[in-house]
Chain A
Amino acid sequence: MNEDLDELLVACSDDMCHLQEPIIASYNMQSVIRKFADNKISLERLLPSMGALHGDQVSLVRGQAVRDALVHKKWTQMFDLVCDVVRSAKIQCLLIKTLEYPWAVLSDIDVLPLNQFEELRALRILEERGFALFQCRLLCHPLKIMALRDDEPAVDFYPSPMWIRKKVCDTELIFCRRKMSAVYKVFVPSSEDSLYLVGSHAYNHLKFTLAEILHGLSVISKSFDWEYVFNLARNYGTLDSIYLYLRLLNAYSEKFRLCSPIDEDIVRAYEVFRVCKRIQSWIDKSHQFVRLPLRIPGTIGCLYSSLYHCRTMSGRVSIPDLLRDFLSHYLMLTDRLLETT
């Protein structure tokens, strides 16, 4: 049943998949709605296939689709506002983790300022516009700030590309390769950085959703610099996350698009490392690798990942930073615990 739900989700969401239009009358609509929400896909995508439904089911799906549309609309409005602030005040920042898939339901906008002064400038403008500023209670960087206004999507400011306290890259490096978004006229990370940031972030949350998979597939192009991504992951101790993301992208494409976008040699380069071998053996053992969303076991995402990351970064960062890196992995586990209880 789960696999059927995955197929329904993919058939509705991915325009490039080979699946037939689904007959949705046979599904439990509550499960379908949960599936779409878990994968950050708007239920609006289900509306064209709803001909066979009637009564309560239709109103249930329509109600959720309207809510998703509203969330998406609010997100777009907030995104426009942030772009406007950035452009008008000439704030040097990048909008990161923005998924390229247009039907993704995103709950926040992530901003990476060039330095703390740029962040302060942006925060001041937002505060003047009625935003309240918050910070998280656990292990968070003192300058990782969330700007919130009423029930609108949050605007998150990152002092550097770090997920909780696990630093995955240097801000300057991403700024060097930034590109201008043709639509919004603001700077966004290059395709390689975008794939890297989204992949490492999803892995850190121990979950890959369909929206993230479709984002990954949409940023890959012929001129994609795989060597850069590999070196970045190797230098910052995130090979495991990128390896798993690439394997997932390939497995998804092979299953649903009947093609393989990433050359096997590229993926094989990662398999030299022990942590990637462990992931490989987990993939080989798992009955069904492509699950939507793909939940990463705690042993891989926390235990092995923390040991590998800290081993790689030891001697490169200070001991307190290393300790925070280490603890970040386990905070994610707590987060999952909170989510599941």
Chain B
Amino acid sequence: MKIKRDKSIGLVLCGVSFLSLAFEIPAIVHGILRLSPTALVMSAMAVPLTFISLVALTIGYKLLLRPAEIPVTYEELRKRVVAETSRKEKISLSPIVIYLCGIDGSGKTTQVDIISNCLANRNIPHTIVWLRWVALVSYPFLALCRLLGYTAWKVNKNSVRYPEHYFYRNKAVSRIWVLIFTVDMLLHAIVRVRIPLMMKRTVLCDRFVLDSLVDLACETKNKDLFESRIGRLLISILPRRCLVIMLDVSEQEAIRRKRDIPSIEYLEGRRELYFNLASNLGVPILDGNKPSQDLHKSIVSGFLSHLPLWYVPLTDQSREGC
């Protein structure tokens, strides 16, 4: 009796989904070919419906043609487990993202350079990316903000110019900024991180989404940004195989190291946000006050030595260097 029910429901699902696909697919194709705004909107609306129809079709097909319980042998299961295990092993050998975050002057760029040297000495293909300023589609918006006085150039004590953003003055502006910035970051992450990863290159990130989140939280004065949907979306941009390390340094030491830091208050606010973010996401924090070689040793012993890529033999010329 139940089998009959399954089959009839499967048949109904298949029929309905076939019918709806017959309308939806031509609508999408038409929209793409015509390239008119109305047709594009129609085709965009048809995409989720097509997805639902495809799911219904799959369920209907399975109800119709497959038994409720599919017999499986131990040997098949063993093969599945072996395949899964080898896939995981393959992943562990594949390139990863090594991402250093922290306030200005914490030594990220220095450490990224040292790690880059070490990878180069092992002939491991890698790319260094700096992803703090990622404006692309947001330039028109920034130009408008400049005209409206939400951004300005300032000069610090060391006579170095730096940009300052006052998006927090207007709720709508701050919301739009966060959204547009996220789009920009997404585009940059795809082009500069995901694509190199796909091309089997290890990516060394000197600043990335977490730094951007801290910047955004400061510019919009929204400390709950990390918990918001957009904050979570930004965090989800981080690839799965990503080693994140936060370097922490005292404000005084950071000011001593870098001349272009606006003020000590600027660092204090950001440092607190970094701590919050690190504790929420379980990001390990290393003491950036240490000399760079000592810090590098801590990074190697704590993190890099756990990565398979660290065991690629050094080239002959570089044995002494690294």
Picked from B66, B69, B229, the residue with its CB within 8 Å of the CB of A311 is: B229
- In the bound complex, how far is the Cα of B69 from the Cα of A315, in angstroms? 33
- In the bound complex, how far is the Cα of B67 from the Cα of A148, in angstroms? 15
CB atoms of B78 and A138 under 8 A apart:
no
Q: Tally chain B residues at the interface, Cβ within 8 Å.
A: 29
* A226 in contact (CB, < 8 A): no
Interface string of A99-143 (1 = CB under 8 A from B): 000000000000000001100100110010000111111100011
In the complex, which residues of chain A have a beta carbon less than 8 angstroms from the beta carbon of B229?
A: 311, 314
Picked from B68, B80, B236, the residue with its CB within 8 Å of the CB of A137 is: B68
CB atoms of A338 and B232 under 8 A apart:
no
In the complex, which residues of chain B have a beta carbon less than 8 angstroms from the beta carbon of A146?
A: 69
In the complex, which residues of chain A have a beta carbon less than 8 angstroms from the beta carbon of B73?
A: 127, 133
* A318 in contact (CB, < 8 A): yes
Q: How many A-B residue pairs have CB under 8 A?
A: 69
CB atoms of A135 and B59 under 8 A apart:
no
CB atoms of B81 and A143 under 8 A apart:
yes
Chain A nearest CB from B70 CB (Å) reads: 5
* A1 in contact (CB, < 8 A): no
Interface string of A302-319 (1 = CB under 8 A from B): 000000000100111010
CB atoms of B236 and A135 under 8 A apart:
no
CB atoms of B71 and A338 under 8 A apart:
no
CB atoms of B5 and A338 under 8 A apart:
yes
In chain A, residues 136-160, which have Cβ atoms closer than 8 Å to a Cβ of chain B?
136-138, 142-143, 145-146, 148
CB atoms of A327 and B81 under 8 A apart:
no
CB atoms of B67 and A123 under 8 A apart:
no
Interface string of B48-83 (1 = CB under 8 A from A): 000000010001001100111111111001101100
In the complex, which residues of chain B have a beta carbon less than 8 angstroms from the beta carbon of A135?
A: 69-70, 72
CB atoms of B236 and A314 under 8 A apart:
yes
- In the bound complex, how far is the Cα of B81 from the Cα of A318, in angstroms? 20
CB atoms of B6 and A134 under 8 A apart:
no
In the complex, which residues of chain B have a beta carbon less than 8 angstroms from the beta carbon of A316?
A: 236
In the complex, which residues of chain A have a beta carbon less than 8 angstroms from the beta carbon of B78?
A: 120
In chain A, residues 283-324, which have Cβ atoms closer than 8 Å to a Cβ of chain B?
311, 314-316, 318
* B137 in contact (CB, < 8 A): no
> Most chain-B Cβ atoms within 10 A of its Cβ — which of A123, A137, A145?
A137
In the complex, which residues of chain B have a beta carbon less than 8 angstroms from the beta carbon of A331?
A: 59
Known: A311-B229, A318-B240, A338-B2. A137 touches B70 (CB 8 A): yes
Kindly report which residue of chain A lies nearest to residue B62, judged by CB atoms.
A137
Kindly report which residue of chain A lies nearest to residue B236, judged by CB atoms.
A315
CB atoms of B72 and A133 under 8 A apart:
yes
- In the bound complex, how far is the Cα of B71 from the Cα of A303, in angstroms? 32
* B113 in contact (CB, < 8 A): no
Kindly report which residue of chain A lies nearest to residue B55, judged by CB atoms.
A327
CB atoms of A116 and B68 under 8 A apart:
no
CB atoms of A137 and B81 under 8 A apart:
no
In the complex, which residues of chain B have a beta carbon less than 8 angstroms from the beta carbon of A117?
A: 81
- In the bound complex, how far is the Cα of B80 from the Cα of A143, in angstroms? 8
CB atoms of A136 and B81 under 8 A apart:
no
- In the bound complex, how far is the Cα of B72 from the Cα of A116, in angstroms? 16
In the complex, which residues of chain B have a beta carbon less than 8 angstroms from the beta carbon of A143?
A: 77, 80-81
Picked from A123, A311, A318, A327, the residue with its CB within 8 Å of the CB of B74 is: A123
- In the bound complex, how far is the Cα of B35 from the Cα of A6, in angstroms? 62
- In the bound complex, how far is the Cα of B295 from the Cα of A223, in angstroms? 46
In the complex, which residues of chain A have a beta carbon less than 8 angstroms from the beta carbon of B71?
A: 132-134
In chain B, residues 234-248, which have Cβ atoms closer than 8 Å to a Cβ of chain A?
235-236, 240
CB atoms of A314 and B5 under 8 A apart:
no
* A30 in contact (CB, < 8 A): no
* B233 in contact (CB, < 8 A): yes
CB atoms of B62 and A138 under 8 A apart:
yes
Known: A315-B235, A338-B6, A341-B9. A136 touches B74 (CB 8 A): no
- In the bound complex, how far is the Cα of B2 from the Cα of A142, in angstroms? 24
CB atoms of B80 and A315 under 8 A apart:
no
Kindly report which residue of chain B lies nearest to residue A115, judged by CB atoms.
B81
In the complex, which residues of chain A have a beta carbon less than 8 angstroms from the beta carbon of B68?
A: 136-137
* B84 in contact (CB, < 8 A): yes
* A77 in contact (CB, < 8 A): no
* A334 in contact (CB, < 8 A): yes
* A272 in contact (CB, < 8 A): no
> Most chain-A Cβ atoms within 10 A of its Cβ — which of B67, B70, B73, B77?
B77
CB atoms of A133 and B74 under 8 A apart:
yes
* A52 in contact (CB, < 8 A): no
- 19 A-B contact pairs sorted by A residue (CB < 8 Å): A116-B85, A120-B74, A124-B74, A127-B73, A127-B74, A133-B71, A133-B77, A134-B69, A134-B71, A137-B62, A137-B63, A142-B80, A314-B233, A314-B236, A315-B232, A315-B236, A316-B236, A318-B240, A341-B9
Give the B-binding residues of A (Cβ under 8 A): 116-117, 120, 123-124, 127, 132-138, 142-143, 145-146, 148, 311, 314-316, 318, 327, 331, 334, 337-338, 341
Top 3 A-B residue pairs of the complex, sorted by shortest distance between their CB atoms: A315-B236, A134-B69, A315-B232
